[in-house]
C-alpha cells in the first residue's frame, strides 16, 4: 500500500539522476504507489506485515498481473513495464468519451505517448484493464480528498461533520468523478461484472467503502463493521445506478436520492437499537408474566 | 523398410537436433553445420535447399496447406489476425508471407473495423443534411482502410509471384505492397512498423536470432511481434498420433498432389527440429522483446508467440 511505496522512495533516492529518463513528473507523482523497485528481484515479496489500523490496499493492476518474463532486466534507467502500462492507460482515459472503454481508446492513448498503436495489444480487447485503472485512480483521489479534510479537522480549521453528512459528501464526491465519462459508464459497469473481473472490481469497491468508513471515524471491531460496510455499499451502488439514467440538471435527482438513502440508513440503525431494546423488554415482560402465572398457579411455592 | 528408415532418421534427429539447437542458441556463424530437416548441412546449403523447396511448392502451396491440415490452417490464421486485433492506421510487415494469407486477412479485418467506425460516427451525427452525409461517404470512400498498410516480404520470388496473382484474382489492390527480402536482413529502416508477423515462416529461417533482431529493429516503440508456427505437442498420445500422421500421410499427399515427396518430407522434419514453445519464448526475450507469451492452438500443434518492443533503441545504454 502507501507505506510500501514510501519505503521504496527512500531507497530510490540513493540514485536520483538515473531514474527520470522516460516519465513525466506529474504522472510519476500520481503513480507513487504503483512503483516497483527496479532492483528488487522478482522472487522477493514486498509484503510487509499489514500496518495496524485500516489502511486499504489499493491494487492497481487488473485481472492480468503483467510479468516481464525478463527476470530482473528492469535496470535503473528503464521504467518498468507496469509503469509504462499505467502511463498508457492514463493517457487513454481522455479518449474514452469518444471511443468508449475499448482497445481503440487505448490505441489512441498509446499514440499520444509516441508509441505504436499496436501497444494496445498489451491489454485485453474489452477494455477491462482501462476501467479497473480508472476506478482505482478515482478511489485514490477520494482517499486523498478525505485525508485532506481530516487534516483540516485535526488542525481545527474545519468542523467535524455529522456522520450522515460525511457519508453523503464522500459518496457524492466519488460519484462526481464519473461525470465526464457518464455516457459510456453503463458499458463499463457491465464489463466490471464479467466473471473474470469480479474479484478485482469487488476488491476495489470494498476497499473504497472501507476507506470512507475509516475516515468517518468508524472504530468498530464487532459485527457492526460488516453491517456498516454492507449498508454503505448498497447506498453507493443504488445511487450509481440512479445516476446512470438521471437527466436532471446537475444530477440533482441523484443527490436527493442519495440524501434520502443515507437518512434511511441512519433511522434504520436507530431502529435497530430500538428493536433490540424492545426485544429485550418484551422478553423480560414474558418472563415476568410466566413467573406471575406460576405464582398464581401455586407452582412456585415450596411446601 | 520405411520403419527402419524412420528409426535411423529419429536417431540422427536427436543428435543433430541437440547440436543444431545448441548452435542456434549460441548463434554461431562459425559452426557451419545446420539442420535441414533431419540432415546436417552448412548454412549456405540450407538456404539454397530451402529456397528450392519453396520454389517447387509455390504453385501448389495453398492446395497443400488445405489438404495437409484439413483446412484448419485457415482457422489458425483467422485466430492469429484476431489476436493481433489491428485498428485502422496500422502498418503491418508480414515476413515470409509469400502467398499473402495473413495480409489478406489483415485487410479484411481492418476494413470491417473501419466500416463500424464510420457507422458509429454517422449515428452520432443525426442532424446532418443529405448533402453532408453524401460528402462524408465520398471522403471516406478513399479511406476505407483508414490508412492501414501491409507490406508482404518474402525471400522467394516464386512465392511472391503466386501471392500477387492471388491478390489480383481476389480483388485486393489497396494498402498492399510486395517486397523481396531476407528475414535475416530486412530492407527497411528502423522503427517503421506497428506490427511484425511471421506465419509458418520462422521455421525456415536459417538464423532465427538474426531474424528476431531484425524484427526488433524495424518495429516502432510499442510495436508488436507475432509469430505463428508449428510447435511441440506435450500430450504423449496426441504426439504419437501427430507423428504418425506427419510422417506417414503428409509426404504421400505431397507426392500425390504436388508431385514432390522430398519437399514435404523436409517440411515435416523441420517441424520436429524447431525449438519448442519455451525455448522460442526465451529467444524472443533475448532479442529484447517484453511481455513475451505464447498461446497453444490445438494442444501445441501450433503456437502463437507475441512480444512487444517497449523501449526505443536509442535510449538504451
Taking only the tens place, the pLDDT of each residue in A240-255 is 999 998 889 999 999 9
Q: Mean pLDDT highest for which of A54-63, A166-175, B2-11?
A: A166-175
Q: Band of the pLDDT at A67, cuts 50, 70, 90?
A: very low
What Cα–Cα distance (Å) separates residue B117 from each residue in A89, A98, B60, B128, B142? 21, 11, 38, 17, 15
Give the pLDDT confidence score for residue B253 in this predicted structure: 84
- Cell numbers found for residue A199: 474479484
Give the cell for residue B303: 503456437
pLDDT digits (tens, 9 = 90+) for B171-219: 988 889 999 999 999 999 999 999 999 999 998 898 899 999 999 999 9
**Which residues from chain A sit within 8 angstroms of residue B85, using beta carbons?**
103, 120-121, 125
At residue B247, the pLDDT reads 87
CB-CB: which of A66, A68, A117 is closest to B90?
A117
Greatest mean pLDDT range, A154-168, A190-204, B46-60, B249-263: A190-204
The predicted model gives A267-282 an average pLDDT of: 79
Average pLDDT of the segment spanning A117-121:
92
Distance between B196 CA and the closest CA of chain A, angstroms: 10
Cβ contact A70–B290 (<8 Å): yes
| Low-confidence stretches of chain B (pLDDT beneath 50) | 3-4, 6-7, 9, 11-30, 315-317
Q: What is the pLDDT of residue B303?
A: 95
Task: Check if the beta carbon of residue B227 is closer than 8 Å to that of residue B197.
Answer: yes
- In terms of Cβ atoms closer than 10 Å to its own Cβ (0-12, 13-18, 19+), residue A66 is middle
Q: What is residue B277's predicted lDDT score, i.e. its pLDDT?
A: 93
pLDDT band at A36 (very low <50, low <70, confident <90, very high): very low
Indicate whether this complex's ipTM tops 0.90. no
Q: Is the pLDDT of residue A73 over 60?
A: no
* Mean pLDDT on A184-197: 92
Residue B130 CB-density burial (10 A; 0-12 exposed, 13-18 middle, 19+ buried): exposed
Identify which has the larger pLDDT, A282 or A41.
A282
H or E element: which one contains B226? strand B219-230
pLDDT of residue A173: 95
Q: Which residues, including other chains, have CB under 8 Å from residue B197's CB and lie 6 or more apart?
A: B80, B84, B92, B93, B94, B95, B97, B102, B226, B227, B228
Whether A38 has a pLDDT exceeding 50, the answer reads no
The residue-averaged pLDDT of A93-108 equals 92
3-state secondary structure B56-86: HHHHHHHHHHHHHCCCHHHHHHHHHHHHHCC
Helix H segments across chain B?
2-26, 43-57, 61-68, 72-84, 101-124, 130-141, 157-170, 208-218, 236-244, 250-253, 261-273, 277-286
Contacts of A183 in chain B (CB under 8 A): none
pLDDT of residue B18: 46
Choose among B193, B262, B259: nearest CA to B222.
B193
CA-to-CA distance for A55 and A53, rounded, in angstroms?
Answer: 6
pLDDT of residue B108: 93
Residue A86 · residue A59 · CB < 8 Å: no
Q: Is the dihedral of CA B254, B255, B257, B263 positive or negative?
A: positive
**The three grid cell numbers given for residue A88, joined into one nine-digit string:** 498508457
Four-residue CA torsion sign, A33, A37, A42, A47 = negative
* B218-230 confidence digits (pLDDT tens): 999 999 999 999 9
Query: CA torsion, points B62, B68, B73, B74, in degrees to nearest 10?
Result: 50
Q: What is the pLDDT of residue A69?
A: 45
CB pairs under 8 A between A and B: 72
Q: Of A78-82, A91-95, A151-155, B185-189, which range is least confident? A: A78-82
Which among B200, B93, B119, B111 has a CA at the least distance from the CA of B147?
A: B111
B308 and A67 within 8 Å at the Cβ level: the answer is no
* Cβ pair A118:B311 closer than 8 A: no
CB B106 within 8 A of CB B81: yes
| CB-closest option in A68, A110, A125 to B222 | A110
pLDDT at A281: 83
Amino acid at each position: 500500500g502507501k507505506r510500501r511505496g514510501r519505503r521504496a522512495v527512500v531507497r530510490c533516492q540513493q540514485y536520483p539522476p538515473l531514474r527520470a529518463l522516460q516519465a513525466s513528473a506529474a504522472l510519476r507523482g500520481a503513480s507513487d504507489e504503483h512503483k516497483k523497485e527496479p532492483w528488487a528481484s522478482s522472487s522477493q515479496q514486498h509484503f510487509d506485515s499489514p500496518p495496524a489500523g485500516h489502511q486499504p490496499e489499493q491494487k492497481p493492476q487488473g485481472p492480468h498481473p503483467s510479468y516481464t518474463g525478463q527476470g530482473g532486466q528492469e535496470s535503473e534507467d528503464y521504467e518498468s513495464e507496469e509503469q509504462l502500462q499505467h502511463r498508457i492507460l492514463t493517457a487513454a482515459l481522455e479518449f474514452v468519451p469518444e471511443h468508449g472503454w475499448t482497445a481503440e481508446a487505448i490505441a489512441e492513448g498509446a499514440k499520444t505517448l509516441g508509441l505504436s498503436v499496436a501497444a494496445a495489444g498489451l491489454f485485453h480487447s474489452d477494455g477491462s484493464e482501462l476501467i479497473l485503472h480508472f476506478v482505482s485512480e478515482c478511489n485514490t483521489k477520494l482517499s486523498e480528498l478525505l485525508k485532506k479534510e481530516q487534516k483540516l479537522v485535526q488542525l481545527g480549521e474545519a468542523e467535524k461533520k455529522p456522520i450522515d453528512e460525511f457519508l453523503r459528501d464522500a459518496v457524492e464526491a466519488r460519484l462526481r468523478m464519473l461525470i465526464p465519462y457518464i455516457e459510456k459508464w453503463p458499458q463499463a459497469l457491465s464489463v466490471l461484472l464479467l466473471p473474470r473481473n469480479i474479484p478485482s472490481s469487488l476488491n476495489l469497491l470494498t476497499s473504497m467503502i472501507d476507506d470512507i468508513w475509516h475516515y468517518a471515524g468508524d472504530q468498530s471491531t464487532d459485527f457492526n463493521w460488516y453491517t456498516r460496510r454492507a449498508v454503505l455499499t448498497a447506498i453507493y451502488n443504488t445511487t450509481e445506478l440512479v445516476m446512470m439514467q438521471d437527466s436532471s440538471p446537475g444530477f440533482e435527482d441523484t443527490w436527493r436520492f442519495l440524501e434520502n438513502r443515507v437518512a434511511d440508513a441512519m433511522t434504520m440503525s436507530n431502529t435497530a437499537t430500538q428493536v433490540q431494546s424492545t426485544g429485550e423488554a418484551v422478553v423480560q415482560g414474558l418472563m415476568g408474566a410466566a413467573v406471575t402465572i406460576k405464582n398464581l398457579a401455586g407452582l412456585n411455592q415450596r411446601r | 523398410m520405411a520403419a527402419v528408415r524412420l528409426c535411423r532418421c529419429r536417431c540422427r534427429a536427436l543428435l543433430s537436433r541437440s547440436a543444431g539447437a545448441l548452435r542456434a542458441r549460441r548463434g554461431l556463424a562459425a559452426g557451419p553445420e545446420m539442420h535441414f530437416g533431419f540432415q546436417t548441412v552448412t548454412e549456405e546449403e540450407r538456404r539454397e535447399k530451402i529456397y528450392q523447396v519453396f520454389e517447387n511448392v509455390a504453385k501448389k502451396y495453398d492446395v497443400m496447406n488445405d489438404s495437409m491440415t484439413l483446412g484448419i490452417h485457415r482457422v489458425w490464421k483467422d485466430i492469429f489476425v484476431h489476436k493481433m486485433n489491428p485498428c485502422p492506421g496500422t502498418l503491418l510487415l508480414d515476413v515470409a508471407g509469400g502467398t499473402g494469407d495473413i495480409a489478406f486477412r489483415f485487410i479484411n479485418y481492418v476494413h470491417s473495423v473501419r466500416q463500424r467506425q464510420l457507422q458509429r460516427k454517422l449515428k452520432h451525427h443525426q442532424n446532418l443534411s443529405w448533402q453532408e452525409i453524401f460528402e462524408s461517404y465520398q471522403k471516406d470512400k478513399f479511406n476505407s482502410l483508414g490508412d492501414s498498410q501491409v507490406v508482404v516480404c518474402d525471400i522467394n520470388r516464386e512465392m511472391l509471384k503466386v501471392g500477387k496473382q492471388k491478390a489480383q484474382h481476389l480483388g485486393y489492390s489497396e494498402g498492399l505492397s510486395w517486397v523481396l527480402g531476407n528475414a535475416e536482413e530486412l530492407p527497411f529502416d528502423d522503427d517503421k512498423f506497428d506490427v511484425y508477423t511471421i506465419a509458418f515462416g520462422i521455421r525456415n529461417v536459417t538464423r532465427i536470432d538474426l531474424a528476431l533482431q531484425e524484427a526488433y529493429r524495424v518495429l516502432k516503440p510499442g510495436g508488436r511481434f507475432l509469430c505463428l508456427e508449428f510447435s511441440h505437442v506435450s500430450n504423449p498420445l496426441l504426439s504419437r498420433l501427430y507423428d504418425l500422421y506427419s510422417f506417414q500421410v503428409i509426404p504421400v499427399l505431397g507426392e500425390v498432389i504436388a508431385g514432390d515427396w522430398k519437399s514435404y518430407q523436409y517440411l515435416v522434419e523441420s517441424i520436429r527440429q524447431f525449438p519448442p514453445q519455451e525455448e522460442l519464448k526465451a529467444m524472443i526475450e533475448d532479442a529484447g522483446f517484453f511481455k513475451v507469451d505464447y498461446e497453444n492452438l490445438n494442444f501445441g500443434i501450433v503456437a502463437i508467440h507475441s512480444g512487444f518492443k517497449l523501449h526505443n533503441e536509442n535510449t538504451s545504454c
